[in-house]
Amino acid sequence: MLAELGARLRPAATQPVTAARRALQAQATRRRQLVEIRKQEVTRLHQTTDKQARADITSLIAVLDRRIAKAEAQMAALVEADPEIKTIGRRLQTAPGVGPIVAATLIAEMPELGQIDRRRIAALAGLAPIARDSGKRAGTRSIGGGRLVVRTILYLAALQASRRFVVFRTFRERLSSTGKSTKVALIATARKLLVTLNAMLATATDYDPAAT
């Protein structure tokens, strides 16, 4: 069945991931793991009043902070060492809400950025609304699937962009004014940011507020 599907649809060949991107992906994954462990330890710190336990947890959090900083430094070094990735990273960071970690994560986890159209890039990130209609019933649209890592990092980037930059703040506030929940408005903002980043790489241009 898979062979028949390929013969009929003739999908484009998947481009191999470069060694530089694989190394960056490994460091980005390790950073996420360390951040998750740190979150768990912070939760445990808040759940105990025992002095010895708190001291041990606090010590471990300090170690994790250093490990996270080390992973971030390695990510920055990998981006800096590869001319193509360096150019992409610099361009991505001209957009609101996109710092070094967001840019490096997108480079590592979404090599298709700038290579496909806005609908497919949104679907890959799991930010495209999925219709759940049946007959004459129009179901609620919701997101799902896609790459959770990319969706999460874009959600956080959209939160920062909508707080600090007028274009994205206005977009989010307009959605909220129509009755959209905070989460729905932020997801739509994340999708808008992703589409903007995709267009920037596709056209090899830095962020332009007038184009969003």
Domain boundaries, given as residue ranges, for the chain: 17-81, 85-134+141-212
pLDDT tens for the chain, 212 residues long, are 888 888 888 876 666 788 999 999 999 999 999 999 999 999 999 999 999 999 999 999 999 999 999 999 999 999 999 999 999 999 999 999 999 999 999 999 999 999 999 999 999 999 987 554 444 544 455 555 688 999 999 999 999 999 999 999 999 999 999 999 999 999 999 999 999 999 999 999 999 988 87
Q: Class of the 17-81 domain? A: mainly alpha
Place of tokens 């992409």: 88
166/172 Cα distance (integer angstroms):
10
pLDDT at residue 169 in the model: 95
Nearest Cα residue to 94 out of 185, 180, 173, 197? 197
pLDDT at residue 139 in the model: 45
pLDDT at residue 10 in the model: 81
pLDDT at residue 142 in the model: 54
- The pTM assigned to this predicted structure is 0.83
